[in-house]
Amino acid sequence: MIAVALLDWRSPEHFDHSGDKPCVICTKPTPLRSARGKPVHKVCAEDWIDRHTVKEDDA
C-alpha cells in the first residue's frame, strides 16, 4: 500500500479572489494558494510532498 498526501484545502484562505498567478511548481495559472500564500495547485502540492517525503523504505 502506498501512502499519498491528500491536502484539505476547503477553507477559504486557499483561494485568492484577486486572480490567478503561475503555480510555483508547474507554472500554469491557479487561484489556489498554499498555507504560506504561494500560488500552487492542490495536486501539484500533493505530488511535491509525495516526492520529497522520506519514506520508511528510503531510511
Q: Report the predicted TM-score, pTM, of the whole model to 2 decimal places.
A: 0.81
Place of cell 520508511: 56
Contact 14, 33 (CB under 8 A): yes
- Per the rule left: phi > 0, alpha: psi between -120 and 50, beta: everything else, 17 is alpha
The predicted pLDDT at position 53 comes to: 85
Domain boundaries, the chain: 14-51
- Span 17-53, pLDDT tens digits: 999 999 999 999 999 999 999 999 999 999 999 998 8
Provide the residue count of the chain: 59
Q: What is the mean pLDDT of residues 7-11?
A: 91
**Confidence category of residue 2, pLDDT binned at 50, 70, 90:** low
